[in-house]
Amino acid sequence: MTIENKIVAITGAGRGIGRATAVHLAARGAHVVLGARSELEIAAVARQIEASGGKAAYRVTDVTRREDLADLVGLACDRFGRLDVICNNAGIGPISRFDALRVDDWDAMIDVNLKGVLHGIAAALPVFERQGAGHVVNVISTAGVKIVPTMGVYAATKNAVRTATEALRQESGPNLRVTEVSPGFIDTTFADSGIADPGIRAAIQKRREALAISPDAIARAIAFAIEQPNGVEIGSIVVRPTAQD
């Protein structure tokens, strides 16, 4: 049971859960390949990891572009010789009521939260097939477990990923592991991700202050799934604050 020397590509790695996961896995000896839209952010994460003695590479990655995911996976293979895990973490949450008719936001969540994960899977599967091994980790959300107002489209994208993840697991055979991780209320910049309604934004921020837990909790859960021995698959993990209803 080890993470040391595993090659892990992570999307949305510049902040929040992605950043925490990259730092934690690198501290455990993984070689991490960071993707995000902000070069400034992922460069800073890579420098932090390398300053602590870890190994990191990065590439600007927009998950809505298939070629960007192919390039991120290619960077892992070119730099480290293989890819052991892809962590599809990038996501956005410009939530709103349906009657606000923020259709562009709906489209953006579909493109990032759903299609972005599919692009990551499509980029990684051929590599995993050649290697005869690999691990897909998809970060979902408890928003898809308990449906609440304003979260309709966001939760729909997350539940679409949940469905795709389960189908992939059933198709995967003995050499591909598939894990879904559903975070609850995590202390991230979710409320800053384009929520237009000031009331909704304030409610999210208030709830975050009241009960959110560190993204490190999700990083540890992802590490737990990755470190299992060959032949052991952690299919689903839900991590949320004990106070979350």
Catalytic residues: 154
- How far is CA 96 from each of CA 54, 144, 155, 217, rounded to the nearest angstrom? 40, 15, 12, 27
Report strand pairing: 55-60 vs 31-36.
parallel
Query: In whole angstroms, what is the distance from residue 109 CA to residue 154 CA?
Result: 7
Secondary structure of residue 86 in the 3-state scheme: strand
**39-51 vs 16-27: helix crossing angle, rounded to 10:** 20
Nearest to 39 by CA among 13, 65, 17: 13
Residue where the block lists tokens 């049971």? 1
Query: In whole angstroms, what is the distance from residue 207 CA to residue 234 CA?
Result: 30
First to last CA, the chain: 33
Alpha helices in the chain (DSSP H): 16-27, 39-51, 66-80, 103-109, 116-131, 152-171, 198-211, 216-226
Query: In whole angstroms, what is the distance from residue 146 CA to residue 114 CA?
Result: 18
